[in-house]
Structure 1
Amino acid sequence: MPQIEKILLQTYPTLPEDIACARERLRLFPDGCYVLRSDGSDRIFGYVVSHPWQDLNVPPLSSLLRSLPISPEVYFIHDIALLPDVQGIGAAKAILAQLSQVARRHYIKKFALVAMPMAESFWQSRGFRIVDKEAIRTTC
């Protein structure tokens, strides 16, 4: 977790989230939490935190969930953080492929996430569409 927290603070310096959120999500849904490392290395280059959730009911930043929904409507990508060394090499594409398999195993057909403004085009190029930003912004 110390390496994850370091990456979190480095990739999102203006939106620091309590590392307790990542710990809780890992405990609640370990199938949706991964780290990215090179073969044979202990160094972590990125991580992903994701879990089943309710449609457009975005958990507020730095909040604990306490539990996951019994009948989830979407597969929520809470966080993908990659260090600059691994950006642009296809890591996000591989992560999305892996998360798609997890979602299918849980019979979830839709994904949801909240993107930083500078990442909107990245997500749109991967098939995500923008929904009512104001509705989501009020929940964060």
Structure 2
Amino acid sequence: MKNFSWHQMQEDDLPEIDQIMQQTYPHLPEDIDCIRERVRLFPHGCHVLRQNDEEAILGYIISHPWENRSIPPLSSLLGALPFKAEVYYIHDIALLPEAQGIGAARAILEQLNQIACSLYINKFALVALDTAFEFWRARGFRAIHEQILKEKL
């Protein structure tokens, strides 16, 4: 795939994002209002992947500053972002099959790193599915097993 690019997510993108979520994570349904809130709270961390700037959405990422060793419960409203965020949290990333293996994830992670640095945050956090563990490990992430985190999943 040529000419892919990430764009800031817009509210108009949410129906397509909902469809991609249902395709990629059918066992982890998330209320679209939760995504809408994250876009409102931190638009700089919410992006969609398109080919040739105009076509259908091929993927998305939702991220925001957050507290260290804490994860927002899935499908929950945040209300607000923490005043003193310690980590940059990747809430969700999904790429349709045709957008995998083309460097799209690497490109957006570089962008998110710049955003995190601009906020003086030098740590990232996420919850990974077992099937994605190797993907994240290859990018420098490591597993943390804590009961308090498991309770929020």
Structures share a fold, TM > 0.5? yes
Q: 1:124 to 1:52 in 2, by over 3 A?
A: same
Structure 1 runs (4+) greater than 4 angstroms displaced = none
Paired residue for 1:94? 107
Give, in whole Å, the separation in 1 of the partners of 2:75 and 2:145: 22
**Structure 1: unaligned runs, 5 residues or longer:** none
CA offsets 1:71-94 (integer angstroms, 9 cap, x no match) = 001000000010011111111111
Q: Distance in 1 between matches of 2:67 and 2:28?
A: 23
Name the Cα RMSD after superposition. 1.0
Q: 1:124 aligns with which of 125, 129, 137?
A: 137
1:1-50, CA deviations, whole angstroms, 9 ceiling, x for partnerless residues?
11010001111000010111110000000010000001142310000100
Please report the TM-score for the alignment, with normalisation by the length of structure 1: 0.96
Q: TM-score when scaled to structure 2?
A: 0.88
Q: 1:119 to 1:52 in 2, by over 3 A?
A: same
Alignment CA distance shift 1:133-1:11 (3 Å): farther
Structure 2 residue 21 is matched with structure 1 residue 8:
yes
Identify unmatched segments of 5+ residues in structure 2. 1-13
Q: Write the deviation string for residues 81-130 of structure 1: whole angstroms up to 9, x where unpaired.
A: 10011111111111110100110111101000000011011100000011
| Alpha-carbon distance in 2 for matches of 1:81, 1:133 | 25
1:108 aligns with 2:145: no
- Calculate percent identity across the aligned residue pairs: 57
How many residues matched?
Answer: 140
Distance (Å, rounded) in 2 between the aligned partners of 1:81 and 1:53: 20
Partner of residue 54 from structure 1, selected from 53, 60, 67? 67
Contact 2:74-2:152 at 8 Å conserved across structures:
no
Q: How far 1:133 sits from its partner (Å)?
A: 4.9
1:33 matched to which residue of 2? Answer: 46
Amino acid at match of 2:20: I
